[in-house]
Amino acid sequence: MSETSLDRETVEEYARWFRALADPTRIRIMRYLSGRAGSVPVGEIVDHLGLNQSTVSHHLKILHTVRFLTRRRAGASIRYAVNPRCITEFPSAADILIGARAHCCQEPGCD
């Protein structure tokens, strides 16, 4: 599949995915959450990273917007987890470069 066969929407989605991961803090967040069995409260992520809550919340919002993370309210806190459905559909850079087909996570329930 050549680059020209990727529709504009798909290319833009891939660009959003890569932009979301183009920050070391977001990579650290993804790595930390991927090692957890369930969802994690924001405070635990803040403690692990040693950053202030507003900074962590900013990065969590970006990762959630591209559907790499799920979030749910648990009482007064919000808990985050890696969205396994979307992460398994995230194409590798090599797949894009060689034109391998990847699936976009646009399905209901993938938020």
The pLDDT tens digits for 11-58 are 788 888 889 999 999 999 999 999 998 999 999 999 999 999 999 999
Tokens of 100: 């391998």
Tokens of 20: 């979301």
Would you say 42 and 77 are in contact if contact means Cβ atoms under 8 Å apart? yes
Tell me, yes or no, whether 105 lies in a domain: no
Q: Is 53 helix (H, G, I), strand (E, B) or coil?
A: helix
Would you say 66 and 14 are in contact if contact means Cβ atoms under 8 Å apart? no
Q: Residue 91: is its pLDDT beyond 50?
A: yes
Tell me, yes or no, whether 45 lies in a domain: yes
Q: What CATH code is carried by the domain that includes residue 86?
A: 1.10.10.10
Residue 84's domain spans which residues?
3-98
Tell me, yes or no, whether 50 lies in a domain: yes
The confidence band for 3, taking pLDDT boundaries of 50, 70 and 90, is: very low
Residue 74: its H or E element: strand 69-74
**69: phi then psi, degrees, rounded to nearest 5:** -125, 150
Q: What is the pTM of this model?
A: 0.77
The confidence band for 110, taking pLDDT boundaries of 50, 70 and 90, is: very low
DSSP 5: G
Number of domains in the chain: 1
